[in-house]
Amino acid sequence: MKSIFNLSLLLLTCLFSFGQEYPRSTQYIFNNYLINPAISGIDNYTDLKLGYRNQWRGLEGAPVTQYISIHAPIGEDFVRGSVNSFSGAGYNPLSRSYVDTYTSAEPHHGVGFYAMTDKAGRIRQTNINGTYAYHLGLSYDVNLSLGISAGLASTSIDVASVLVNNTSDPLLSADYNNKIRPDVGGGIWLYSPRFFLGASAKQILGYRSATPNKQTNLSAYQTTTFYGTAGYKFFVDEDIAFIPSTLLTYWLSAPMTIDANLKIAYQDKFWIGGSYRNNDSFSALAGFNISSLINVSYSYDSTTSALRSVNNGSHEIVLGILLNNRYDVKCSTRQF
């Protein structure tokens, strides 16, 4: 009986996993690149990030996500030219003065790459994508970028350690236990010194998986995931900015998810914030720009769903490295 229960649990977990979008991140405001390829090369340095998320800590088999991302601009007029509204090295991109003197970016290209792995119970999902974007100025302070991503998505299920009486059961050799599929996405990003507005889609191709035994009629369909995000920057004084933002996530197999975030930044030194995800969690966030090379951010999610009684919250940490940082800035010039 226990073997049947374990196998049923494995199957249900598998079907549930296929119905989900990319692993979510509380710190989307810190790395929107993961959900929108149009951000590739948005700043005039090479942006490298390493992320780790331990979701629902204390719950056995809970999701653990790790990723690495890197993207950079291409185009000497943008990378080397004085087109970023800087008066000199070390200028603060989060100051009111920077916003008042901002000019739109020179037309340029951006390329990038990210790899992400998410393990939940016996299921591991891995995504590897390359990205490309083109940026151009629409007016003196408004920019538009269009981006695409392409790569591979792999899902594997560890059934070797499942104890069953009949090892020839078709559920143990179903084609969706280990599968590699193409992954294509696209996005658009409108941005200025005071606001950003983006829309993107991942897993545009979609796919269907089913067991080899047609009589079981067990199948799962991975639908396209759509993202919409927006944010605005308000200044309290020269060095303190309030940045509210939101992220909408929609896919056909589940209700829409809404993330609401408020970030308060002091100069380019540090920021704190709070976030709410409907029917899921409240979060506290903080980040420190240690130097013009390294920054780090951390978030803690307190669960509000039915899982709150069986876990100790979710932890997420992101390490950012700014390579080829010509102007020695400590934070992003064109993201918030």
Residue 185 phi, psi dihedral angles, 5° rounding: -145, 175
Match 């951390």 to its residue by tokens: 298
Burial grade of 79 (CB within 10 A; 0-12, 13-18, 19 or more): buried
**pLDDT single digits (tens) 57-110:** 777 777 889 999 999 999 776 665 544 445 455 567 777 777 777 777 788 999
- Residues 329 and 336: their CA atoms lie apart, in Å, by 14
* pLDDT score recorded for residue 160: 65
Tokens of 235: 């200044």
The Cα–Cα gap between 223 and 234 comes to 37
pLDDT of residue 223: 73
**pLDDT for the residue 297:** 95
pLDDT for 171: 60
Token representation of residue 113:
């790459």
**pLDDT value at residue 25:** 81
Question: pLDDT tens-digit profile of 26-37?
Answer: 888 888 999 999
Structural domains of the chain, with CATH: 21-208+217-323 (2.40.160.40)
d(CA 147, CA 137): 15
Cβ count near 252 (within 10 Å) = 11
Q: In Å, how far are 143, 156, 165, 168, 225 from 173, measured between CA atoms? A: 50, 11, 15, 8, 28
Tell me how far apart the alpha carbons of residues 37 and 22 are, in angstroms, rounded to a whole number: 14
Query: CA 69 to CA 40: how far, in whole Å?
Result: 10
Q: What is the pTM of this model?
A: 0.83
Backbone torsions φ then ψ of 2, nearest 5 degrees:
-60, -40
Amino acid at 207: Y
User: Nearest-CA neighbor of 7 among 134, 169, 191, 215?
Assistant: 169
Question: What distance, in Å, lies between the first and last C-alpha atoms of the chain?
Answer: 53
**DSSP of 272-323, one letter per residue?**
EEEEEETTTEEEEEEEEE-SSSEEEEEEEEEE-SGGGGG---EEEEEEEEEE
pLDDT block averages, 10 residues each, the chain of length 336: 42 43 78 94 92 83 90 77 51 73 83 93 88 93 95 80 63 63 94 93 71 45 83 89 93 84 91 90 92 93 76 88 86 75
